[in-house]
Amino acid sequence: MSEPFTCPCDVPLYRLISLEIEEKLRRSAAAYTDRFPHVSTIPQEGLNYTPEENNLWTNAFFPGMMLLAYDRTGDENFLKYTGCYLDSFENRLKKRIHISHDLGFLYTLTGVALYKLTGNVRAKAMALRAAGMLAERYNEKGRYIQAWGEFGVGNPYVKIIVDTMLNLPLLFWAGETTGEKRYTEIAVAHAHTCADYLVRDDYTSFHTYLMDPATGKAVEGRTHQGFHDDSTWARGQAWVVTGFALAYRYTKEPRFLEVSKKAAEVFIQNLPADNVPYWDFSFNDRVPDLRDSSAGSIFACGMLELADQCEVEETERFRAVACAVVRGLYDHYFLHNPDRSGILTDGIYHRVHGPTCTVWGDYFFYEALIRLQKDWKHFW
């Protein structure tokens, strides 16, 4: 941990990094119109993405980066493939291809973001349809959104997971846009259930929790991508910080702000000297393992979201933490080579696969840079 965080907010540097990212986007845009980047599969040789079918939770991050680029630059070339994205993502809904709680990630960064930036009514209709399908995954008795698998079908249990916090903004947006209270009620209820079970008393987090779909009862915490059931998976903790800050933005519910801030303190306490987190908080500079640059990117956005919600004194500290993390990511894990489509190295999807570039780590790094440069048109 390098508190106090004194890293300056270096806007000219953020602009230069953004220009490098935009050059990569320009070079790769034509390759990703209905198949999209996910993780780089051969880290030592490649550091390049390959186009993957639109059936993953990550498919919207590349279109999301193109929209960030349009928002930052005003260059309409970044909108050139939006019709292709809409075709691909509408088709996914129509055919119900891999439908899970991740509808939020997928349709916020394609439908909601495009609608907010350009007023595209097709994007709005698509996002509302996705929100309706996400709401269908709500278990009334347990007051939770089921993460994976066929709704209500357990083995014998189903799971809630911390990642879902980033899927709630689609419901909050749908509630505001349609005036239908049910969307907001579901999102609020799920966030409380997440705070009750997935967030521990010390504000660390379980990755997942088993729930009984018949009774709605919570059973026990488990990990899926972390080191072990009782550890704190860094990316999960970043989803908690960012997701509760976003839930607070929409609701002004004090509990959500408190969870986000206290989970952020846990994250800060676990930052190593270079401010880029290890993939699980079981590891540190004395007991090192691999980093997860993507957890750092998400956390930086969470700190900037929190900074937007807090009093001046806290705002300055939260922005300084975000700047320090962004600087750590840039100094140690940024891929300058324009021929490589990956942007940040050393992300972790599943630990067993080793370090890779991850499209979500790239997305949140770029979002953080843009939040630091301008009054951002919020996508979430």
163 given a catalytic annotation: yes
Of 38, 72, 235, 291, the residue at the interface with ligand GLY (CB under 6 A) is 235
What DSSP line would sit under 155-169, residue for residue? SS-EEEEGGGGGGHH
Start-to-end Cα distance in the chain: 29
Q: Are 12 and 370 in contact (CB under 8 A)?
A: no
Question: Which residue has the CB atom at the shortest distance from ligand GLY?
Answer: 163
- Interface with ligand GLY, residue 233, by CB under 6 A: no
Within 199-228, the residues that bind ligand GLY by CB under 6 A are 225
Q: Which is nearer to ligand GLY, 14 or 57 (CB)?
A: 57
Is 10 labeled as catalytic in the residue annotation? no
Minimum Å distance from CB 30 to ligand GLY? 27
State which residue, 5 or 267, has the beta carbon closest to ligand GLY.
Answer: 267
> In the bound complex, what is the minimum distance in angstroms from residue 224's beta carbon to ligand GLY?
8
> Could you give the C-alpha distances from 71 to 80, 108, 164, 253, 370, in angstroms and in order?
14, 15, 26, 30, 9
Name which of residues 323 to 352 contact ligand GLY (CB under 6 A): 349
Contacts for 324 with CB less than 8 Å, ≥ 6 apart: 2, 5, 7, 275
Residue closer to ligand GLY, measured from CB, 213 or 226:
226
Which of 9, 1, 75 shows the shortest CA–CA distance to 315?
Answer: 9
Interface mask (CB under 6 A) for ligand GLY, residues 161-200, using x and -? --x-------------------------------------
The 30-69 contact track toward ligand GLY, x by CB under 6 A, reads: ---------------------------x------------
- Show the binding pattern over residues 125-164: x = contacts ligand GLY (CB under 6 A), - = does not: --------------------------------------x-
| Range 289-308, binding ligand GLY (CB under 6 A) | none
Of 41, 42, 46, 49, nearest in space to 25 by CA = 49
DSSP 236-301: HHHHHHHHHHHHHHHH--HHHHHHHHHHHHHHHHT--TTS--BSBTT--SSS---B-HHHHHHHHH
Total residues binding ligand GLY (CB under 6 A): 5
Between 18 and 270, CB nearer to ligand GLY: 270
Q: Given the complex with ligand GLY, which of 57 and 81 has the nearer CB atom? A: 57
Query: Which helix H or strand E contains 235, and what residues bound it?
Result: helix 234-251
Between the CA of residue 19 and those of 30, 48, 110, 366, what are the distances in Å? Answer: 18, 19, 22, 10
Binders of ligand GLY among residues 58 to 117 (CB under 6 A) are none
User: Within 13 Å, how many C-alpha atoms sit on residue 97's CB side?
Assistant: 15
Q: Which two tokens stand for residue 208?
A: 């997942």
Annotated catalytic residue within 102, 274, 280, 362: 102
Residues forming contacts to ligand GLY in the complex (CB under 6 A) are: 57, 163, 225, 235, 349
Active site residues per annotation: 102, 163
